[in-house]
Amino acid sequence: MEKQQFDFIGKNFDLKNIGKVTGKEIYSSDVHIPGQLYAVVLRSPFPHAEIKKVDYSEAEKMGAICLGPNDVPNILYNERIVSIPEKTYRDRTVLPQDKVRHVGEAIAACAAETEEEAFAALKKIKVEWGKKWPPLINLDEAKEANAPPIYDYVYLGEERVDINNNIACERNVEVGDIAEGFKEADEIVERTFNTQRVYHMQLETKSAVCIPEADGGITVWTTSQGIHNVRILLGNIFNLPLSKVNVKRITIGGSFGSSIQMNSITPICVALALKAKRPVKLVSSREEDIYDHAKYPLRTTLKIGAKRNGILTAAHCRVWVEIGGHNIQAYPYLGCVAGWFASLYKWKKLKYEGTAVYTNKVPTCALQGYGNPQINFAVECLMDILAEKLDIDPLELRLKNYVGKGDEFWGQGPTVRSIIRSCGVEEMLIKGSKLVGWEKRTLPSKKRGEIRKGLGVARGFHTSGTGGPNLGEVIDYSSATIKINEDGSVDVLTALMDVGGGTWDAGAKVVAEVLKVPYDKVGIYNGVDTRSTGYDVNTHATRGVYCGCGAIKFVAEKVKEILLGYAATLFKDLPDNLELAYNDELGQAIIYPKGLPENYKTVDEIAKTAQIKSWGTMAYTGSLRQKNCPPCFITHFVEVEVNTKTGEIKIPRAVIMGDSGTIINPDLWEGQIIGAFSRGLGFGLLEETKYSSITGNLECNGMITDLKIPSSVEMPKIDSLTVQSAHTYEPTGPFGAKGIGEAALSSVASAIANAVYNAIGIRFYELPITPEKVLKALEEKEERSEKIAD
């Protein structure tokens, strides 16, 4: 198809939430209500212990308002309600009623006139502990038959589910007869890979402010990626009609998935406010935040079969994930991992087995990819291993087998299947290889010297949303209200959250493109809430542009119809005979009879006329469920330098190719690519949250200073290129657009691991690949060589 010409799409403008860079943006922690109390939380020092009694009488004598387990509703809930109810596990209450299940879990809370007074009162709270169990830190120990049960039962929807051997849930999928598939194979490779727990390290910790209203309702500001789900949960927990629960949308200071769910402090803050009958503010410290959420680790045993010509015949994937003390989203997570695995390559026949296990660690949740980088590490490394066995170039093996245009795509799991309509994988692999100089790549056996260079490749994808032609297990639709004001400017009201990737800017450009109104006259700011907006599931699954802006475009088209109808009245003509365009000389949107551009009226004039003549406001409210979740593709080519004396790995250069369909925000697209590479570098080489097997504490003691994360010093020179062509234009997306955010991270660590192998000839099956691990592996390799020589 011909390349579309846009007035606003694909161009760079000033950011809508400019307050982030001027220091004037308001976050949840900045909200101040006159007369508010300040709240703090008492947290468990034990990983697994029975709570017999919480006594806060002494704290109350100091004037504090206190909460214990008996002061909160005994309602089981799951803080993530993105999945449909019958696929949602429920295992927690606002405060634990029976026992704590990880160090740092909230036990009690109190609020006072100042934070200092609140902390002083907190020290007076006495907890009578009952039985204490040794922490279950290791996955294998947790699932042993004699391991202490972390739960006896939980609920799946409304059904009680008994928990055996601490197995939280399981998920299995099989397509075809894999035994036959492996019989057809000339070469079979099998390995086990392990990825680690990582803290989200988002800039903003979790905060909440709650006002108890005179009518018995509540108004809440909270750190969240989805205000409507927070509203629904609070209404359910505190038995309030949703008309009496109002959650304000407020800027979020980064999330990376840590606020898809309602954060654990939010209902605590609400419970304190309702008890105190006064506004309450609760802000988590960084140490508390580290004990609140983490990235899912994953153990993957993967087996792949292929013919001598490189055509795949079968794959068997077995994954285990330890989820910590609460099941936030393990069942859909296992489904998504199945989807990421099944949709990378044409396995022909496949089998997937997934198991989630409770442990006495911080609960796990989504972190930029929701299992995608974890399974990608296993698949992309094993594809390189297979290529070496077959003596085929790794690029050639990928080009022979990738899932692309016209193929079935599993989306966010086996229940969400659709056909891929746009794909730039081939272009990315071919163009990227030329740019990086792939033809000059040499084998590890030819590397010499203290510093050894390597070049690796890995490719990945992520979904744009979670929709499919048929309804799956995940709720996914967005809403918007758009109105043309009396001066021709436009207001966009949406609960869609911008977590830093420029979703609001994209939405404004979409509206400007549809209505031809100047970008700077489109308002899509904060100030909305759950009362003024229709439902939006939340910003996750790389759905912001494709789904959120898809709904905005849908509503903008309806407003355009109303606008043309009003203009037709003014012109005494039919709407179909009129043209809406942006006039660059005027800097305005104009409407004119087709073929007569000189006989125009500006949208400003039409809007003012509509007001004067009492025609009404040009406005529309609507919702849209996208019936696809097209993959946005990514390919990483990474150069590394491995110091064989120190074990240090440096990355001098990376070439990153991305397919996002039509690029709406070029500068912000590049920012996503670079930011994701930093996260992937940390995942691959540096980051890990380790636990003491004796105390159940994080070894960093909750201190961010003891966690290693990448800085600008570790970042390489990055060449990032978008692939935009007839092959990548997404026909179901707004102006051909797809997402990019989570895709950008999916294959970073995999490419690094493949490059390290190319440098030193050692394959690492566990992340992160630290200097200590490199040195140990080099020493072991040297010892093996000496034994062979002897």
Three-state SS at 719: strand
CB burial class (10 A; 0-12, 13-18, 19+) of residue 109?
A: buried
Q: Determine which of 10-24, 395-409, 515-529 has the lowest per-residue pLDDT on average.
A: 10-24
pLDDT at 141 over 60: yes
Tokens of 248: 């304000």
For the chain, the distance separating the N- and C-terminal CA atoms, rounded to the nearest angstrom, is 66
| Tens digit of each residue's pLDDT (9 = 90 or more) over 637-663 | 999 999 999 999 999 999 999 999 999
Q: Residue 106: which of 26, 51, 62 has the closest Cα?
A: 51
Q: What is the pLDDT of residue 411?
A: 86
Q: What is the pLDDT of residue 533?
A: 96
The conformation of residue 5, written as its DSSP 8-state character, comes to: P
Q: Which amino acid is at 688?
A: E
CATH of domain 18-24+477-624: 3.30.365.10
Distance CA 466, CA 36 (A): 40
Predicted structure pTM score: 0.95
Q: Where are the domains of the chain?
A: 18-24+477-624, 31-133+203-254+259-290, 294-469+628-789
Q: What is the pLDDT of residue 2?
A: 47
What number is the average pLDDT over the span 216-235?
97
Q: What is the pLDDT of residue 21?
A: 80
Distance CA 366, CA 264 (A): 15
Q: How many CB atoms lie within 10 A of CB 25?
A: 15
What number is the average pLDDT over the span 421-443?
96
Distance CA 413, CA 516 (A): 38
Distance CA 245, CA 228 (A): 10
Q: What is the pLDDT of residue 790?
A: 66
pLDDT at 3 over 60: no
Q: Do domains 18-24+477-624 and 294-469+628-789 have the same CATH topology?
A: yes
CB burial class (10 A; 0-12, 13-18, 19+) of residue 526?
A: middle
Q: Which residues contact 674 (CB under 8 A, 6 or more apart)?
A: 715, 718, 720
| Tens digit of each residue's pLDDT (9 = 90 or more) over 245-261 | 999 999 999 899 999 99
| Tens digit of each residue's pLDDT (9 = 90 or more) over 764-781 | 999 999 999 999 999 998
What number is the average pLDDT over the span 352-376?
96
Distance CA 75, CA 71 (A): 12
Q: Looking at domain 294-469+628-789, which CATH architecture does it have? A: 2-Layer Sandwich (3.30)
Distance CA 275, CA 226 (A): 26
| Dihedral over Cα of 487, 489, 494, 498: its sign | negative
Q: What is the pLDDT of residue 730?
A: 96
CA 564, 526, 15 angle in degrees (round to 5)? 80
What number is the average pLDDT over the span 373-386?
98
What CATH homologous superfamily does 31-133+203-254+259-290 map to?
Answer: Aldehyde oxidase/xanthine dehydrogenase, a/b hammerhead (3.90.1170.50)
| Tens digit of each residue's pLDDT (9 = 90 or more) over 459-512 | 999 999 999 998 889 999 999 999 999 999 999 999 999 988 889 999 999 999
Q: Which amino acid is at 630?
A: P
Q: What is the pLDDT of residue 1?
A: 44
Three-state SS at 108: strand
pLDDT at 707 over 90: no
**Mean pLDDT of all residues belonging to the chain:** 95
Q: Which residues contact 626 (CB under 8 A, 6 or more apart)?
A: 464, 465, 467, 476, 477, 543, 546, 547, 550, 732
